[in-house]
Amino acid sequence: MSAHRFRTRRAALALALAALLCSSAAAVPAAAQPAAVPAAAAPALPGWLHTSGGSIVTAAGAPYLVKGVSWFGLETSNCAPHGLWTISLAAGLAKIRSMGFTTVRVPFSNECLAATSTSSINYAVNPDLAGKTPQQVLDAVVTKAAAAGLTVILDRHRPGSAAQSELWYTAEYSEKRWIADWTALAGRYKNNPTVIGVDLHNEPHGPACWGCGDPATDWHAAATRAGNAVLAVNPKLLILVEGVETQPGGSTTWWGGGLSGVAKKPVKLAVANRVVYSPHDYPASVYPQKWFSAATYPANLTAVWDANWGYISKRGIAPVLLGEFGSKLETRSDAQWLGALVRYLGANKMSFAYWSFNPNSGDTGGIVADDWVTPQAAKLTAIRPLLAGTVPPAATPKPSTPKPTPKATVAPKPTPKPTPKATAAPKPTPKPSTPKPTPVSGRGATAIWNLQSSWGAGYVAEVLVTGTTGVKGWSATWPDTTATGIVNAWGMTCTVKVKTSVSCTGTGWAGPVAAGQTVRAGVQVSGSGAPSAPRLGFSTK
């Protein structure tokens, strides 16, 4: 049976949706050997955790449920949690805690760990983040999470910031780099029990296999190597291991969601009682898996979850922490799925991390509205039993009324043909050269056009305008013969001249540009492709 390569991804476009209020402050080089970050004084943190059978427990042996939510952005080209253009980091974490979550799952990329600067942070709202590197921003997340009464799970979401990877390594980011970054983080937070666990690699899929013995694709073996390396630095961390898309028996499921192989081949680490399995699960609106169209839906979901990952906890093999689940909750099918999932997690006392805090998640939305403050009432009501630690009755949450949203939807991923497994680590494949954007000069400013992401139905592009002597306003135009409309824009208003061009004019915070200032404005264009390096027309006033 050939594998499905399917998923739309929540953050694939979210990196381009940042309303970029200001350019980053001067870069501050990170120290070669960073000092360990001390824990901040915090209320009611559980301390170091470990596992016992199918449960996560405290040092005293009391069962402990992780009730998490992901706040993404540190894995994108912004290299900072999204929304900091609107709210402060402390306010966002306080909001998460106030809704009943106990943990924030923080996605990051290896690229951002090494970067020297961030973007999209409003320093008027977050003055203490000015001049910080992404690694130092992550330090601030840990410190402020503790102050808010939250623990942290670190999630290696991507190697580079542009996209997820099927395997734990790529031609640019080796396994050695992956493990080295993990051991560096383990050492950095070694004395800080705010960081309770590490999610080794987000959503292994494609050729990733479980226990197949191929060193190039065996995720079970790679997770064992990385987990042991992390525990050699800090033996008190929980090691979160996600599943694979194609399971040993040939069945396919969500990226990172297949853990049926654990039954015969569990991950065994040098330090006992540290492994937590962390599958992902989504509704039909994200991808129409075959079980959503079964005549017995949604009653059949229990058997699906039991077979893919639920049995691990039920049999006492290890704890399960459902690492991602979420929905815009706009359809009856999604509401049925969420109601069943909440009952399943609650009845089996399983930990979880909701996707996501961010409202700019294309296929799920967030737990807060576009203002980054107002809770999404229907979603919060639906998962309230999990936050309260109760098992809800067999009822289905009502789908919320769809509302217009300025956020982009995530393009569906193409379905690649199955490829034969490699017998050795693949050799790096040279990337095709991409034309570098050329600055265009206007009176008082220059502009650069950057393609952020593209797919079969459109693209996201960014216009960076830098003031030389400064301008009161600006406009940019580029040729595009396939554009059919504007889905969303930030920092500028845009129009399409069908089969001809896209034209945008800076507005609001991105309209006037002072001498020495750089503003970033963006647009999502619908169409059948994207120009790679269009000739930009640029005018100022």
Any idea which residues carry the catalytic annotation? 203, 324
Label residues 240-252 b or e (16+ Cβ within 10 Å = b): bbbbbbbbbeeeb
Label residues 511-521 b or e (16+ Cβ within 10 Å = b): bbbeeeebbbb
Residue recorded with tokens 């050997």: 33
Cβ atoms within 10 Å of 10's Cβ, excluding its own:
24
Residue 459 burial by CB count (10 A; 0-12/13-18/19+): exposed, middle or buried?
A: buried
SS3 360: coil
Distance separating alpha carbons of residues 91 and 99, to the nearest angstrom:
12
Distance separating alpha carbons of residues 531 and 337, to the nearest angstrom:
39
Q: Which of 473, 475, 539 is nearest to 511 (CA)?
A: 473
User: For 294, which DSSP code?
Assistant: S
Residue 387: in which H helix or E strand, if any?
A: helix 377-388
Label residues 35-68 b or e (16+ Cβ within 10 Å = b): eebebeebeebbeebbbeebbbbeeeeeebbbbb
The total number of residues written for the chain in this structure: 541
Distance separating alpha carbons of residues 158 and 322, to the nearest angstrom:
19
Residue 392 burial by CB count (10 A; 0-12/13-18/19+): exposed, middle or buried?
A: middle
Distance separating alpha carbons of residues 301 and 344, to the nearest angstrom:
9
CB-side exposure of 373: number of CA atoms within 13 Å? 6
Q: Confirm if 195 and 176 have CB atoms less than 8 A apart.
A: no
SS3 110: helix
Q: What is the 3-state secondary structure (H, E, C) of 123-182?
A: CCCCHHHCCCCHHHHHHHHHHHHHHHCCEEEEEEEECCCCCCCCCCCCCCCCHHHHHHHH
Question: Which residues are bridge partners to 176 per DSSP?
Answer: none
